[in-house]
Amino acid sequence: MLIAGNWKMYKGPAAAAEFCLALRDEDLRGVDVVVCPPYVSLAVAVQLLAGTEIAVAAQNVHWAQEGPFTGEISPSMLRELGVYGAIVGHSERRQHFGETDATVAERTRAALDAGLFVIACVGETEEERERGATQDVLRRQVSVLEADENLVVAYEPVWAIGTGKTATPGIAQEAHAFIKSLLDVLVLYGGSVKPDNAAELLALPDVDGALVGGASLELDSFTAICRAATRS
């Protein structure tokens, strides 16, 4: 089981340091744990989690190694910092910053080629689900990815991101099974995962972990989800 905490645009270096110091003291044996701080907090997270089994990943990564790409960060820069991996194609990147299937493919391939672990995100909007297009959307988004031992996919129904809504176990299991029929990878669930629903979701046969948003910002809720994973 893999539990990744996506901090989004929260926790600068001071708050990240406080969280990581506390996380070090938690017994999280039996689950693979990743934290994904904003860029400015990556260095302190890497430093404070060194020597533990907890990995640090970025929330995005560019496809070029260097160049005139203001505001972007390359795979080699992340590797130099000691970062383990990166999220690619999160629904908020697609919605707010023009991410496309093509750029997701480029970012994913560049990161994997550089030796990074990648969590590639896919998922349908509420409108797409209501018109019965979920499988078409997932097929299109997954089609640009290639199976790799360092690639996992995160299924995040867009209508469940930051809304408090969560896919029913049936919806989540169906989507995960479909993704696995397209690509031989582990598949995480992302979409308002909380301590009170984590155990049920993580017990599903084709759910291999979770990409946790808001609930990863508080130590108690994040560790509760991690412990739920050890019981699944």
Return the active site residues: 90, 156
Count how many Cα atoms sit within 13 Å of the Cα of residue 164 in the half-sphere of its side chain. 0
Which phi and psi angles does 121 have, rounded to 5°?
-100, 140
Which phi and psi angles does 12 have, rounded to 5°?
-70, -175
Grouping H, G, I as helix, E, B as strand and the rest as coil, residue 77 is helix
Which amino acid is located at 86 in the chain?
A
Name the nearest CA neighbour of 2 among 218, 167, 133, 190: 190
Question: Integer distance in angstroms from the first to the last C-alpha of the chain?
Answer: 8
